[in-house]
C-alpha cells in the first residue's frame, strides 16, 4: 500500500471513529413518573458524564423492547420476565415470532411492584381483592397485566374474580386510582409517580403475598423469573408498613446485538464505577449492586461488550439468581 493510500485509509478510519463518537444514543423508557423513566434518566446522566457518550432519554407509552429490536432505540429497561417472553415469542408476544437480536446489558435492580391500596383501606392482602376494582387491559403495556395476574394467582384468584377496569398503561392506572376508579393498583416502589399519588389520596400500603410452595409455583407459572422477597420498612419505601413478603423480578437493561461492543463496554463500566452517583439521582438505584450486574437468565443472551467487561472484573460467568 502506498503512503498516500495508507494516509487516506487512516483519515477515513479517524473520520469514522469521530462519527461513532458523535452519534446520539437513545434510552427508551416508559412515560415520565414511571420506574423505567426514573431509572433511565439516572443511568443516562451517568453515562453522559462518565463515559462521555451523548445519551438522550426517549419516553414512550409502551415497552422499550420493540424499538430496541427495530434499532430505533439503543438501550432500554424491562422486567426480566417480559424480556424472556419477547425474545422467545411467548406469553403476550405469542404469534409475533422470536426476537434473537435482543441482548442483556446488566441486571439493574429488583423490581418491587406490589399491589397498593390506601393506607386506611380494609383490604389487607391480595386475597381481599376478590370482587374489587383492579386495573387491567394494558393494551400498550401488557406486561403490567401479567404482573397483576401473578399477584392474583398467588392468592388463588384470577381476573375473573375481580372487576377489571381497563387502562392503556401503568401510569394511567395510577391516575385511575387517584380518581377513585380502582381500589388497588401496582407500581414500582421508588418511582416518582407514587409521590404524586400519595399527595393526592394520602399514604399508601403494600399488600403482602402468600409464601407457601403452591402459591409461589402459581406465581412463577405466570412470571417465569419472579421470586419472593421479605421487605422491611425503609424510609425510601413508605408503602411498606411492616415486614412482608412481596413478589420481585429483576429490572434489566437491554440493547440490540448490533450496538458496537465498545459502546456497551463503556456503558457497563460507567454504571459499575458510578453506582453512588446513579443512586443520588434516583433513590431506587440504591438497590443496584455493582458486584452483581451479571446474573444468569435462562433463554437470554448477554451482549459481547458487557461480557468483556464482566470478564475483566470477575463477574463472568454470570451468577445464579
65-69, 100-104, 297-301: range with lowest mean pLDDT: 297-301
The CA angle 299-87-151, to the nearest 5 degrees, is 80
State the pLDDT at residue 142: 83
Q: What is the DSSP annotation of 185-202?
A: EE--TT-HHHHHHHHHH-
Q: Is 179 exposed, middle or buried (0-12, 13-18, 19+ CB in 10 A)?
A: exposed
Residue 247: its H or E element: strand 244-256
Domain 115-249 maps to which CATH number in 3.30.470.20, 3.40.50.300, 3.40.190.10, 1.25.40.10? 3.40.190.10
104 within 8 A of 302, measured Cβ to Cβ? yes
φ/ψ (deg, to 5) at 45: -60, -45
CATH number of 22-110+251-312: 3.40.190.10
Least confident of 35-39, 54-58, 96-100, 278-282: 35-39
Looking at residue 293, what is its pLDDT?
Answer: 98
**pLDDT tens digits along 182-240:** 999 999 888 889 999 999 999 999 999 999 999 999 999 999 889 999 999 988 889 99
Closest CA to 29 of 20, 41, 14, 16: 41
What's the pTM value of the predicted model, to 2 decimals?
0.76
* pLDDT score, position 62: 78
| Residue-wise pLDDT tens digits, 72-93 | 999 999 989 899 999 999 988 9
Domain borders along the chain are 22-110+251-312, 115-249
Residue closest to 293 by CA, chosen among 321, 263, 256? 321
Kindly report, residue by residue over 7-25, the tens digit of the pLDDT.
Answer: 333 333 333 333 344 579 9
Tell me the C-alpha distance between 148 and 154, whole Å. 10
Same topology, domains 22-110+251-312 and 115-249? Answer is yes
Amino acid at each position: 500500500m502506498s503512503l498516500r493510500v495508507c494516509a487516506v485509509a487512516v483519515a477515513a478510519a479517524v473520520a469514522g471513529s469521530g462519527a461513532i463518537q458523535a452519534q446520539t444514543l437513545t434510552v427508551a423508557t416508559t412515560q415520565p413518573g414511571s420506574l423505567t423513566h426514573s431509572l433511565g434518566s439516572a443511568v443516562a446522566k451517568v453515562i453522559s458524564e462518565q463515559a462521555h457518550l451523548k445519551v438522550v432519554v426517549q419516553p414512550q407509552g409502551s415497552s422499550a423492547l420493540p424499538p430496541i429490536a427495530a434499532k430505533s432505540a439503543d438501550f432500554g429497561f424491562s422486567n426480566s420476565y417480559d424480556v424472556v417472553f419477547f425474545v422467545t415469542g411467548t406469553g403476550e408476544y405469542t404469534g409475533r415470532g422470536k426476537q434473537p437480536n435482543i441482548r442483556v446489558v446488566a441486571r439493574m435492580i429488583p423490581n418491587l411492584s406490589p399491589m397498593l391500596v390506601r393506607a386506611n383501606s380494609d383490604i389487607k392482602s391480595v386475597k381481599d381483592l376478590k370482587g374489587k376494582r383492579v386495573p387491567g387491559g394494558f393494551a400498550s403495556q401488557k406486561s403490567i397485566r401479567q404482573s397483576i395476574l401473578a399477584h392474583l394467582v398467588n392468592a388463588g384468584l384470577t381476573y375473573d374474580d375481580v372487576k377489571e377496569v381497563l387502562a392503556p398503561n401503568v401510569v394511567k392506572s395510577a391516575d385511575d386510582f387517584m380518581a377513585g376508579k380502582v381500589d388497588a393498583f401496582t407500581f414500582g416502589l421508588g418511582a416518582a409517580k407514587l409521590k404524586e399519588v400519595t399527595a393526592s389520596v394520602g399514604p399508601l400500603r403494600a399488600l403482602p403475598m402468600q409464601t407457601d410452595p403452591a402459591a409461589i409455583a402459581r406465581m412463577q407459572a405466570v412470571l417465569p423469573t419472579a421470586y419472593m422477597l421479605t421487605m422491611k420498612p425503609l424510609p425510601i419505601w413508605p408503602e411498606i408498613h411492616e415486614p412482608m413478603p412481596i413478589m420481585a423480578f429483576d429490572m434489566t437493561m437491554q440493547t440490540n446485538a448490533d450496538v458496537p461492543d465498545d459502546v456497551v463496554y463503556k456503558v457497563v463500566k460507567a454504571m459499575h464505577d458510578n453506582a453512588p452517583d446513579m443512586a443520588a439521582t434516583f433513590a431506587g438505584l440504591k438497590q443496584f449492586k455493582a458486584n452483581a450486574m451479571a446474573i444468569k437468565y435462562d433463554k437470554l443472551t448477554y451482549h459481547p461488550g458487557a461480557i468483556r467487561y464482566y470478564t475483566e472484573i470477575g463477574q463472568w460467568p454470570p451468577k445464579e439468581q
